[in-house]
Structure 1
Amino acid sequence: MAHPTHAAPESGPPGPRPHDPPAAALGNASLLGVGYLLLGRRRLAVAAAAVTAVLVCVLFRVARPWCEAVLLLWWVAVTAHGWFLAGGRGGRGGRGGGGAARGRRAAALGAACLVLLPAGFWRFDAAGIERDVAEAHGRGDCSRVLAAQDAVRLPHRVAGAPLTARGDGLAEVCDRLEGAGARLGLELDDGTRAADTTEAAKVARNLKESFDVLASALAEPGNEKAVRATLERFLGALPADGHCRTVTVTDWLRGRHPGQEALDRYAGAVERAVARTAPAALAGCGDDLADAGQWEEARNHYRRLLDRYPGDEHADRARKGVARATRAIELANVTRLLAGPGDEQSEYCSAPAKYSGAAPYRKGRANRALFSGPTEYTDRLPDEWQTAAPADAVLVVCVEQPEFGTPVRTCPYEREPSGSTRNVTFHKIAVPVRAYELRTGKPVADRTLEIGGTSCPAVITYYTVGDHDSGPPDQYVSPSDADVRAAFGPLVGR
């Protein structure tokens, strides 16, 4: 049986690769120009990838919504261009295309997924971070804002640039507020004792700078709760470690400073914090200054407490502090006035002052005295009658130079070597004195004491000048210690 035969087709060069619109569109959806590569358009692929890189850089640097809109339009454009460049619905391979078409589509889809899925994930995560940041900022929780924004990474800033930029803005405000709060906290923690008052200018400057930050943040919409939280955290941390530093801080807060809207808007909270802490701080600072011997400053702090908070529980302590400081100031002044050479009257005698801590002067009773002036006779008084310490004295007795007092006896003396006779009169020792009650600084006596003693000794000695030998016509009696005590005893109540 004969079988028909057919001629084999002639082999020739393969035809052009069919275009696949879905593969081209998916490839270009990757924004890397993969669709153009599938179409054999290498220059378009390089150009598309370059434009994408520029747009991504602009989005990263500018981070505005319009940048995202431009990138989205570019994505739609290149995706659509790939579809239509491949022939659209009428292109070859558009209805199935067999295994080769499926391979190209799978590769294009993989490229698109390699870009879009991570971008979507990072944008979704960026949106979550931005939401956490906004919620924390809305509550005024700056610590949470900074912690949440700290989770932002480079992919977040590319895929969700505007979202992260908003978070950066809120974090920047919170960072400034946290810095101001930390600086305010240092003003409370860095406390020494009385020396704090010497740093008042520095503390005030730091407070002003910190509150300037609060005021600038308050001027921006949406920051009120964060500012309030920072301020309340600072006020809640009062008092400071040092009493005097607390006084410096509360004094500054009590003032009204231009441009400090934070103080004005939250004046109630500020006043309550000051009223809660200032009285104890003023009393404590007064005590610290007193312990350091700074009595004037101590008294000023006690008086400020009494002037501002007369009904406070620390008022009695302040009144006692004022009295103690006043006595110390008076004692220091009296001590200064009484200082001077032992044989000369001190400044006190011309400008008497009081020391309210001294015991009162009582007539007829023993009054310990501090003597000022010539010491020839006062040094012979018993130790229990006198003192060199103003704090122990009741009287200050100003002693003048002795003079001739009442004549006691006149005796003849034979002069040698001439043998002539001369009468010599012996006088009591007159000592003018003025006595002041130290407690009040008022005079209690102004008299002349006369000291008695023996007279007419067997021999008297005198000195001559040249050939002139007149001899002394008057002499003092020679007092004993008992005679000196007898003269001064009535003055000091002995």
Structure 2
Amino acid sequence: MSYTPQYAWQPPPPQQPPPAPKVDPLAVAVGNASLLGLGYVMMKRWGLAILNLMVVGALLIFLLVLKQTWCEIALVGWWVLVIAHGLFLALRAPQKESDLTKRLVALGITIPILLTIGFVRYDAGRIAGEVSDAREAGDCAKLTDAQEELWFGHRLVDAPGTEKGDAEVQLCGRLDDAKAVLATGLTGDYTALEDGFGTLGSVLAEPGHDKGVDLTLKGWLDDLPVADPCRTVRVTDWLRQRKATNNLLDQSKATVTKTAPAAIVGCADRLMGQKSWDAARSSYQQLVTQYPKDSRVAKAKAGIRQATLAIELTNVRNLLASNSYCSNPAKFSGARPYAGGFNSGMFEGDDEYTKRLPASWRASDASNAVIVVCAEDAVDGTSLRTCPYRSERNPQNISDVTFHKVAVPVKVYELRTGRVVSNARVQIDGPDCPVRITYSTYLTSFDYPPSSLQVVPSNTNVQAAFRYLFLR
């Protein structure tokens, strides 16, 4: 009988996972405090280490882009969380009583990182303080210089704070823009003035920028008045009419009161020199109306009188030059009144007889005339004598001819008032019944004289007839 040995089969014992490395909880916690996940690396938790770096990177990106305080809070919260989580995992793992080497490594990496973050954040705070001080002083140049000290590290560890500084720089830029626009406004550009004050008002609405706005406005106001007084008046007129905003921008009203009166008079004087009489009178009147107690009012009233006379004289000259004075008489208040003595005149209308008056009776210009004589066509005046005349060609033809004075319808206007002072027919005498008469045949039938003729006056006759109009 044969014997067959029996063999029992057993599966191999299950493979045990390698024992977890022994870690020092303190070293892990300090390592994770570096934000680099160094504690996870010490525990060989590579997935957690990579996850930590991804989350930290994402939070830093959010912080740099959004520059919001909640991003900083989230980053600090994550920092606390990974420290606590690393410590929690280390306490559950096999522990070493202490691992000096790893502690030193963790401290050697974490402490420089934290110190660097702290120092850079402190420096960012210092710069923010300089920016704040410069803003309070209204010194935009110093503010901008301080903000330019920032580098990437400052913006990384204090993004919200540096963002405020950037906003302050932008506001200073708007103040510079307002200064440039207001400089254009000094030319009298109302649109530029509106835009400049609008920008100042928007900056003033931001907290803490009162001083900057105040210095910008005062610097601009100090440039008033400008060399051209009429431009100054345009600026002060706009400022005077500007609606009050109940803030420091309203201080411009005081500059108007101080600057405008002299500018108004200066502008009016310049317009007078340019013979812009209407504009000059309006400018003088502006001073009298707006600043009735100003010491220059007497001068302005004299200017109004002078400009008014110039306007009236120009109008009279134009009417005379266009032969339309008699149909539209006007006054020149600067003329001498029509009174006793000799009164020189200007002439309009038919000049058949008025041109025979002495040159000394004729004013050279409306500025030295007293009257304006408007003459119409001559007509028959008073009859003088009737005489018979025999035709030389046909002696049997005898006709009676009545001789008349020459009657010139005349209106005389006193230039000072533009009123009629005489409306009559000037009767010019002359010799009647001359030995021989001549006439135009178109006035009568062939070989028969007209039944009436006007006398043919001499210059002496003409002057004698008109003399009473000029000599009173």
The two structures have a TM-score, normalised by structure 2, of 0.82
Quote the offset at 1:277 in angstroms: 0.8
- Aligned-pair CA distance for 1:331: 1.6
| Equivalent residue number for residue 36 of structure 2 | 32
Q: Find out whether 1:400 has 2:382 as its counterpart.
A: no
Cα distance, 1:280 vs structure 2: 1.1
Instruction: Using the TM superposition, name which of 300-309 and 386-395 deviates more.
Output: 386-395
Matching residue of 1:255: 241
Q: What CA distance in whole angstroms lies between the structure 1 residues aligned with 2:358 and 2:154?
A: 96
Q: How many residues align?
A: 453
Code of the residue aligned with 2:252 in structure 1: it is V
Task: Provide the rounded CA distance (Å) in 1 between the counterparts of 2:44 and 2:239.
Answer: 75
Equivalent residue for 1:131, pick from 124, 129, 139? 129
Does the aligned pair in 2 maintain the 1:412–1:421 contact within 8 Å? yes
Q: Please give the residue correspondences for 1:332-343 in structure 2 after superposition, counting only pairs within 5 Å.
A: 332-341=314-323
Distance 1:414 1:464, change over 3 A: farther
Distance 2:138 2:224 in 1: 20
Residue 412 (structure 2) aligns with: 435
Corresponding residue number in structure 2 for 1:361: 338
- The match for 1:244 is 230
Q: How far apart, CA to CA, are the structure 2 residues paired with 1:252 and 1:119? A: 54
Q: Against the structure 1 CA distance between its residues 90 and 359, is the aligned structure 2 distance closer, same or farther, given a 3 Å change threshold?
A: farther
Which residue of structure 1 lines up, in the alignment, with residue 165 of structure 2? 167
Matches within 5 A, 1:126-275: 126-188=124-186, 190=187, 203=190, 205-255=191-241, 257=243, 260-261=244-245, 264-266=246-248, 269-275=251-257
Q: Tell me whether 403-412 or 306-315 shows the greater mean CA deviation.
A: 403-412
Cα drift, residue 370 of structure 1: 0.7
Closer, same or farther: CA 115–413 of 1 in aligned 2, 3 Å: farther
How far apart are the structure 2 equivalents of 1:289 and 1:440?
26
Aligned to 2:284: 302
In 2, Cα distance between equivalents of 1:40 and 1:89: 12
Aligned to 1:316: 298
Cα offset for 1:301?
1.8
Q: Report the CA distance between 1:87 and its aligned residue.
A: 6.1
1:93/1:240 CA distance change after superposition, 3 Å: farther
Tell me the secondary structure at the aligned position of residue 128 of structure 1: helix
Name the CA distance, whole Å, in 2 between partners of 1:316 and 1:465.
Answer: 66
For the structure 1 residues 76 and 427, does the alpha-carbon distance in structure 2 shift closer, same or farther, using more than 3 Å as the test?
Answer: same
The structural deviation recorded for 1:374 is 0.5
Tell me by how many angstroms 1:136 deviates.
2.7
Query: Aligned-pair distance for 1:55?
Result: 0.7
| CA pair 159-268 structure 1, distance change in 2 beyond 3 A | closer
* 1:208-249 CA-partner distances (Å, limit 9, x unpaired): 444344444444544444444444334333324432333233
Asked if structure 1 preserves the Cα contact closer than 8 Å seen for 2:23 and 2:94, the reply is no
**2:78 maps to amino acid:** W
2:345–2:361: 8 Å Cα contact kept in structure 1?
yes
Match of 2:3 in 1: none
Structure 1 counterpart of 2:166, which letter? D
* TM-score scaled by length of structure 1: 0.79
Q: Note the C-alpha offset of 1:187.
A: 0.8
The CA RMSD over aligned residues, in Å, is 3.5
Equivalent position of 1:50 in the other structure:
54
Q: Is the 8 A contact 1:393 1:438 kept in 2?
A: yes
Whether contact under 8 Å (1:146, 1:175) holds in the other structure is: no
Q: SS of 2:442's equivalent?
A: coil
Does 2:424 align with 1:447? yes
TM-superposed CA distance for 1:336, in Å, is 3.5
Deviation per residue, 1:252-284 (Å, 9 max, x gap): 333363xx52xx334873332111011112112
Match of 1:331 in 2: 313
Letter in structure 2 aligned against 1:236:
D
Segment of structure 1 superposing worse, 380-389 or 300-309: 380-389
Identity, % of aligned positions: 42
CA distance in 1, matches of 2:99, 2:158: 37
1:296-324 Cα shifts (integer Å, max 9, x gaps): 22212211211222232322321221111
Residues 370 and 387, structure 1, Cα contact 8 Å, conserved in 2: yes
Contact preservation (8 Å) 1:412, 1:424 = yes
Does the C-alpha gap of structure 1 residues 377 and 170 become closer, same or farther in structure 2, counting only changes over 3 Å?
same
Change (3 A) 1:17 1:241: farther
C-alpha displacement of 1:54: 1.0
The answer to which of 130-139 and 81-90 deviates more is 81-90
State the match for 1:11 in structure 2. Answer: none
Letter aligned with residue 233 of structure 1: G
Structure 1 residues without counterparts, runs of 5 or longer: 1-14, 192-201
SS in structure 2 opposite 1:349? coil
